[in-house]
Structure 1
Amino acid sequence: MNSYLKKHTEALVKDVGIEAACRLTGKSKATLGRYYSEADEHSDRYIPVDAVAALEAAASYPHVTSALAELKGATISLDQSPSNSKSGGINSDVIALSQRFAMLMAEYNQSIEDGVISINEAKRLLRETVALQKVLIEMKLHLEDEAI
């Protein structure tokens, strides 16, 4: 759990940008770095919830909130207008879903070609997985709209 939260904290800070993260939280680069450092001396340091809220408001995705939900076995649904909600509905979602899944599988195939998934390959797989998750959330919102 420790490593998982630290990695998502790092993703959040990098999503916003380190300089912007410093401005938004009032924390220094060094302090923010300690929050996601996996070094033994920082193992008990976590980013405060008010800093998470400020950063996630500016981020493209709620990295830490999502990680906490996943650790609990829950999922979150973003309450934003999905990018494809204005056109196509479910049919567009199914097409986007199949395209994203194909991209994930292509990335996976390329990553395991040598039998080892490197850090950079894992990051690319993670990005594709998050993109796939976003399409699924859009699809869920469309289905909920149609069910009402």
Structure 2
Amino acid sequence: MDNCGSYLKKHTESLVKEVGIETACSVTGKSKATLGRYYSDHEEHADRFIPVDAVAKLEALSSYPHVTSALAELKNITLSYDGRKPNEPDSGGVNSDVIALSQRFAMLMSEYHQAIEDGVISLNEAKRLLRETVMLQQVLIDMKLHLEAECS
């Protein structure tokens, strides 16, 4: 299987597992076995991928658009994802963003230093680093939006 297919399957698995296999089955109308084939790395399932309508249904329930972001990354496209609910108050402008950016970066560096203490970044450590990186990205997106609003 090529890297592209493997990458999409990995993100499909993350999506299904975040939503929960039982919920994913219910929402998509697919069996556990079928969903499992969509993210299986076995050669006999290399050409099986989750349908886009199933992705849309599952990502509506997830905290992050795993497959959509993976597709964008494969095409070098940057998405602006805002996981906050529409009625949440604004974060407070550029000054607040700079403070949040500093705090998030410090948290990322702290996670990184803990992860490399033994010279090996474990799967759980990589997941924590990824989570912090995504949070840092969100702060940067907020900052970009605030700066664009000030320029208009």
TM-score by length of structure 2 reads 0.86
RMSD: 2.0
Aligned residue runs from structure 1 range 51-90, under 5 A: 51-78=54-81, 86-90=90-94
Give distance in 1, aligned partners of 2:78 and 2:126: 22
List 4+ stretches of structure 1 deviating above 4 A. 79-85
Corresponding position: 1:9 with 2:12: yes
Aligned to 1:111: 115
Change (3 A) 1:11 1:36: same
Aligned to 1:49: 52
**Mean CA deviation greater in 64-73 or 121-130:** 121-130
Aligned to 2:151: 147
Aligned partner of 2:132 among 128, 132, 136: 128
CA contact (8 A) 1:107 1:125 kept: yes
Letter of the 1:4 partner, please give it. Y
CA contact (8 A) 1:34 1:42 kept: yes
Does the residue aligned with 1:74 lie in a helix, a strand or coil?
Answer: coil
Letter of the 1:132 partner, please give it. L
Give distance in 2, aligned partners of 1:79 and 1:125: 19
CA contact (8 A) 1:9 1:64 kept: yes
Unaligned segments of structure 2, at least 5 residues? none
Unaligned segments of structure 1, at least 5 residues? none
Percentage identity across aligned positions? 75
